[in-house]
Structure 1
Amino acid sequence: MKDFYNSGSFEQLWQEEVEIRTRVQNRLFCITFLVCNPLSSIAFFLKGDPFFYTLLPAHMLSGIIILGYMFLNYRKVISGQQMSFYTFVTLICFYAFLLSKPHLSYVQSCLNLTLAIIFAGLVLRWPLRYALVVSGLSLALYPASIHFLSETSLSEFFEQGAVFVMAAHFVFPFVVKLNYSKDKREFYFRYTLQQQNDALEQQKTIAEQATRAKTDFLSMMSHEIRTPLNGIVGMVHLMMQEEEHSEKPNDLLKTLKFSADHLMAVVNDVLDFNKINSNHVVLDPQPFNPFEFFDILKKTFDPKANEKGIGLVFSIDPRLPAQLVTDRLRLNQVITNLVHNAIKFTASGSVALDVREAARTPEAVTLDFAVTDTGIGIPDSEQAGIFEIFTQVRARTHSDSVSGTGLGLAISRELMRLFGSEIQLESKEGCGSRFSFRLSMPYSEQPLVTSEPLLAGIIEDIPEVRVLVADDNKTNLVLATHLLKRRNIRHDTASNGQEAYEMFRENHYDLVLMDLRMPVMDGFESTALIRQLAPDVPIIALTASAFENEKERAMASGFSGYFIKPFIPQDFYDYIFPFLGIAVK
């Protein structure tokens, strides 16, 4: 930075800056002497000093010269600093000439000269060399004019005030240097600060572009991964349903289903973490029955715990309110991650979820959650980074049961921060782990009234409906049409948005399943055209993009629903049947 401070490029910038900043001061300096010098001669006239008749013409002549300097500055022949410098040098020459002329008293002249140099020190922002020239000329010419051209002695001149004139000119360069250096340093700090701000702004822009690029990349990869994965998961579930009636179950098919489910979980973990880090996750508090919530959660993990031969205990405080109000899905995600990890790293013993009421006010209840296992535990050296992304405890075994993305705890920690809480860890290697957190949430003691799910029963009647499926991926078309065939629902297919629009224009459809990303014409444009023909026909976005901004864009573009691939058959039916008005028993 010091090298730059002394460099020619900075000096050039500073000269341009000081010229702009001192334009008014330099002009004010010239105009002041242009006006005040002739006026100062009035004091000599009032005193009856004949020096007045020499003083006034000299000031008028110097004023004409000053006007010439101002004109040259106006035409940009000389700078503002040069204008004020030339003006002061000219005035010093005139002052030296006037001092050599007879005076009744030098007191008034010395006073005027002292005021002039003080005014210059207050107004001007010169380089030091200008001040040295002005002071040197003054200190040399004023005494010389008295000594060589005047009949007055130097001692008399100094006694009548010249000592103050000389002292002011001696101090003048120091004052100018101090002011000039101060302004230059301030400009340097402002300039370097601006450079740093520009660099930070550039880095911020690069970071934002990188974040957008990452999001766009993940969105694209989400679509590209989920699209074939949808075919795998869907087909596997269909084949598994057929295998249920087979006398000889296919173990290879079970392995394929497990792998497909695992792959889907990995993709969901990566996308969840990206959405949380991109601030795309907003909590959605809804009332729910806590006892039913924990009962369903336990049934989810019972098979895996039984398979490993470990105990699974859910100890729920019976004093819990009848209703809790929070984001049930995100709470479920956190507990699921913790319990899943506990089971995964526990070879024998038990895993326990403990939920206890810690405090209650009329507005909210505070609950303590704890997941405890008797697994491998976490070494002290690894506990600090256990919540970082892609971090796993390395088991002392070679079992592949501890595979995964390493994102579960990182996602749980970020979700807890959205809840306004933190996950606490207590663990000892070889003796298990305990993950705990505390949440406060609104509640109600009134039982939650819920209606039976629309599709809880068996479909009683399939009305005469017709569905249009638009997707450029043949596997997804096969899966969707196969599911519709199973329910004897008539359907047609289109391989792009343009074809879907043309088919809709020629036929009547009760529902459109529309992929978003297709060649020729995408789902957004096709939906906009279809809406012009039929504003009320349900159009469901059947897409592999799980990003919230994509969903918001779709819903704002005229879609009636947003269904994410991959999906299992029952979820597919559960989602589309209400749009078709299909009744169940």
Structure 2
Amino acid sequence: MVASILASLNAIGMLNFYGYSFFSYFGFIIAAIFILCYVINQRGYHLLAKSIVLLIFNFAVINISSTQGEGSGSVLLYFPLMSLYFLLLEWKELRWIFFWCLVSVIGFLLLELSDYQILKFGDFEKPEPKLVFLFNLCLTLLGQFIVMFVFIKVTGELESNMQTKTDELRRTLHHLVDEKEKAEKAAQSRSLFLSSMSHEMRTPLHSILGYTNLILEEDVSPEQREILSLIEFSSRNLLVLINDILEFNKLEAGKISIDHLPFDFPLLLQKIHSSLKLQADEKNLEFHLELSEAIPRQLKGDPSKLTQILFNLLSNAIKFTEKGVISFKIEVKKRWESFICLEFSIADTGIGIPKEQHDLIFEQFTQADASISRKFGGTGLGLSITKKILDLFQSQIHLESEPGKGSKFTFQLNFPVVDTETNLWEEVETKEVILPNIQKPILVVDDNEMNLRLVSQFFKKWKFPFLVAKSGESAYEIAKAEDLSLILMDLQMPGWDGFYTTQKIKETKPEVPVLALTADVNEDALQKVKDSGFLDIIYKPFQPKEFQNILLQYLTK
């Protein structure tokens, strides 16, 4: 706009110097073109607007030089014009700077070759040089004043806008901080709620499953055994749902870490297959395990996470298959000197999944069809949890499925090889455990009467001597007075909790092993157990055999 004003003033001056002619009126045309450039620039065509401006200035230099004749200083006029190229065009538009410099050189050569007769609108008498100089000087000063005024105005507006934006940003930042604190409190409340609910729900389940297992080991009628088996099955399904929700909460909170432990790979796979084969047999399904003999026995990894992945996928395969075959296959995909890549595939002949639902089923709380949840049950978290755990291993799960033709899930995992010499393996024979003759009693500490009675029943059956305490204070007094072989300590108790009680007992009897026996599976509780002097942790509800095996590790030392 400043250029348009200056061009208009220049046209008025030319009217005064040269009279009414096309040359004089041409300044108004230039002013209109500058307004057009402004509109084009506002529309976003910045380079085109700059190019038109530079074309006008080139034209003006050639025209002025042609009108004034040789010696009018076209070279001197081109120097500031070349500086304008660098001001209007950015460095990233360097090729356009070279282009306009080339235009200037060509324009100057054309002037020289034409003896300053190119683009000349006519022969005009030269006015007094001093008068023209003073007019151009005043016009330049006026232009500088207008530019300075516009610059000051724009700067003030920018500072005002910046202050406004800064205030808005500060308010937004405070709002985000408040929202972040609220979200953190909500997440903490959710975690505490889930931890508390898990403890409250797992405690009665512990009693239900424990007493059911005790009765199942007795001589009962077939009808009673069937009813008890249904109770156990339903209870374990409820436990799976609780575990899924808790596991998902841990994954969402980023509280899951990967262990790197040596483990017997074939033995682990055999256990998984054996534990799920009963479910497959109940539905008259064939359940095949195919393990490549090229897989080493000892690998290094996270057996618990691997078990969780495979249990989720295999349980789903069994759940959604009414008849046919479940195929569980592990083969070597690639082998390095100390690493091995294994491909796991779980295929079934179940209901299948439509292609458009393949991505959706890995979302949380989602199943391919709402009717599936009503028919087969479940939270819809199993595959979501599986995918999130595989993400921790930097692996992806792939699905091939068609409705009515079954599904096939595949994924790959890398494992460091511990024993590179032993490649072939045989099924490990299970031997009957001979219970040792325990002389010193085991102290069981729990404020829940049902839990105490349940553990007592197992110890009576195994002929382990034991004592019970219903509070931390009484446990401490018993530990001081008795020679104990082991202490099973509940964590959440009124008064002295399990952590404080253990700390007090360790002050007087540091040699007595203390194991945590809890229904709290929260990751924070697990870390606190590790840091508080406990040798191990047993989660309620437990499997009697696993419970016995853990106890024997410490009772036979």
Task: Provide closer, same or farther for how the CA distance between residues 377 and 255 of structure 1 changes in structure 2, counting only shifts above 3 A.
Answer: same
Counterpart Cα distance in 2 of 1:517 and 1:496: 10
In the alignment, is the contact (CA less than 8 A) between 2:203 and 2:541 conserved in 1?
yes
Counterpart Cα distance in 1 of 2:291 and 2:222: 41
Task: Provide closer, same or farther for how the CA distance between residues 519 and 169 of structure 1 changes in structure 2, counting only shifts above 3 A.
Answer: same
Counterpart Cα distance in 2 of 1:506 and 1:288: 41
1:468 paired with 2:443, answer: yes
- 1:528 matched residue in structure 2: 503
Counterpart Cα distance in 2 of 1:271 and 1:447: 38
1:239 paired with 2:215, answer: yes
1:441 paired with 2:419, answer: no
Helix, strand or coil for the counterpart of 2:262? strand
Helix, strand or coil for the counterpart of 1:413? helix
Helix, strand or coil for the counterpart of 1:369? strand
| TM superposition shift of 1:170 | 7.6
- 1:230 matched residue in structure 2: 206
In the alignment, is the contact (CA less than 8 A) between 1:288 and 1:448 conserved in 2?
no
In the alignment, is the contact (CA less than 8 A) between 1:243 and 1:249 conserved in 2?
no
Counterpart Cα distance in 1 of 2:551 and 2:424: 25
Residue 217 of structure 1 aligns with an amino acid whose one-letter code is: F
Counterpart Cα distance in 1 of 2:373 and 2:540: 34
Which of 282, 288, 304 in structure 1 is aligned with 2:263? 288
1:407 paired with 2:389, answer: no
Which of 266, 269, 273 in structure 2 is aligned with 1:298? 273
Residue 364 of structure 1 aligns with an amino acid whose one-letter code is: F
Helix, strand or coil for the counterpart of 1:242? coil
| TM superposition shift of 1:545 | 0.6
Helix, strand or coil for the counterpart of 1:370? strand
Task: Provide closer, same or farther for how the CA distance between residues 366 and 448 of structure 1 changes in structure 2, counting only shifts above 3 A.
Answer: closer
Instruction: State how 1:65-144 maps to structure 2 within 5 Å.
Output: none
Task: Provide closer, same or farther for how the CA distance between residues 316 and 250 of structure 1 changes in structure 2, counting only shifts above 3 A.
Answer: closer
Runs of 5+ consecutive residues of structure 1 not aligned to the other structure: 1-157
- 1:540 matched residue in structure 2: 515
1:502 paired with 2:467, answer: no
Instruction: State how 1:483-498 maps to structure 2 within 5 Å.
Output: 483-498=458-473
| TM superposition shift of 1:184 | 1.9
In the alignment, is the contact (CA less than 8 A) between 1:312 and 1:351 conserved in 2?
yes
1:419 paired with 2:396, answer: no
1:154-208 alpha-carbon deviations (Å, 9 max, x no partner): xxxx99x999999988876544433322222222222222222222222222221
Helix, strand or coil for the counterpart of 1:309? coil
- 1:201 matched residue in structure 2: 177
Residue 161 of structure 2 aligns with an amino acid whose one-letter code is: R
In the alignment, is the contact (CA less than 8 A) between 1:243 and 1:250 conserved in 2?
no
Instruction: State how 1:150-549 maps to structure 2 within 5 Å.
Output: 174-243=150-219, 249-394=224-369, 400=375, 402-443=376-417, 444-447=419-422, 457-459=432-434, 461-549=436-524
Counterpart Cα distance in 1 of 2:377 and 2:413: 30
Counterpart Cα distance in 2 of 1:576 and 1:433: 41
Counterpart Cα distance in 1 of 2:222 and 2:160: 92
| TM superposition shift of 1:330 | 1.4
| TM superposition shift of 1:466 | 1.6
Counterpart Cα distance in 2 of 1:530 and 1:563: 19
Task: Provide closer, same or farther for how the CA distance between residues 365 and 467 of structure 1 changes in structure 2, counting only shifts above 3 A.
Answer: closer
| TM superposition shift of 1:533 | 1.5
In the alignment, is the contact (CA less than 8 A) between 1:465 and 1:580 conserved in 2?
no
- 1:84 matched residue in structure 2: none
Runs of 5+ consecutive residues of structure 2 not aligned to the other structure: 1-133
Task: Provide closer, same or farther for how the CA distance between residues 491 and 287 of structure 1 changes in structure 2, counting only shifts above 3 A.
Answer: closer
Residue 522 of structure 1 aligns with an amino acid whose one-letter code is: D
In the alignment, is the contact (CA less than 8 A) between 1:376 and 1:395 conserved in 2?
no
Residue 347 of structure 1 aligns with an amino acid whose one-letter code is: E
Residue 414 of structure 1 aligns with an amino acid whose one-letter code is: K
Residue 333 of structure 2 aligns with an amino acid whose one-letter code is: A
Counterpart Cα distance in 2 of 1:304 and 1:490: 36
Percent of paired sites with the same residue: 33
In the alignment, is the contact (CA less than 8 A) between 1:310 and 1:348 conserved in 2?
yes
TM-score (norm 1): 0.66
Counterpart Cα distance in 2 of 1:170 and 1:380: 68
Task: Provide closer, same or farther for how the CA distance between residues 180 and 247 of structure 1 changes in structure 2, counting only shifts above 3 A.
Answer: closer
Task: Provide closer, same or farther for how the CA distance between residues 237 and 500 of structure 1 changes in structure 2, counting only shifts above 3 A.
Answer: same
| TM superposition shift of 1:215 | 0.8
1:365-416 alpha-carbon deviations (Å, 9 max, x no partner): 222222111111112332221012222234978994x222222111111111
Task: Provide closer, same or farther for how the CA distance between residues 525 and 399 of structure 1 changes in structure 2, counting only shifts above 3 A.
Answer: closer
In the alignment, is the contact (CA less than 8 A) between 1:346 and 1:376 conserved in 2?
yes
Residue 531 of structure 2 aligns with an amino acid whose one-letter code is: A
Task: Provide closer, same or farther for how the CA distance between residues 175 and 264 of structure 1 changes in structure 2, counting only shifts above 3 A.
Answer: closer
Which of 571, 574, 578 in structure 1 is aligned with 2:546? 571
Counterpart Cα distance in 2 of 1:287 and 1:529: 35
1:14-48 alpha-carbon deviations (Å, 9 max, x no partner): xxxxxxxxxxxxxxxxxxxxxxxxxxxxxxxxxxx
Counterpart Cα distance in 1 of 2:192 and 2:245: 14
TM-score (norm 2): 0.69
Counterpart Cα distance in 2 of 1:322 and 1:571: 22
Task: Provide closer, same or farther for how the CA distance between residues 335 and 166 of structure 1 changes in structure 2, counting only shifts above 3 A.
Answer: closer
In the alignment, is the contact (CA less than 8 A) between 2:435 and 2:462 conserved in 1?
no
1:404-462 alpha-carbon deviations (Å, 9 max, x no partner): 22221111111111111111111111111111112222224222899x99x95433531
Helix, strand or coil for the counterpart of 1:540? strand
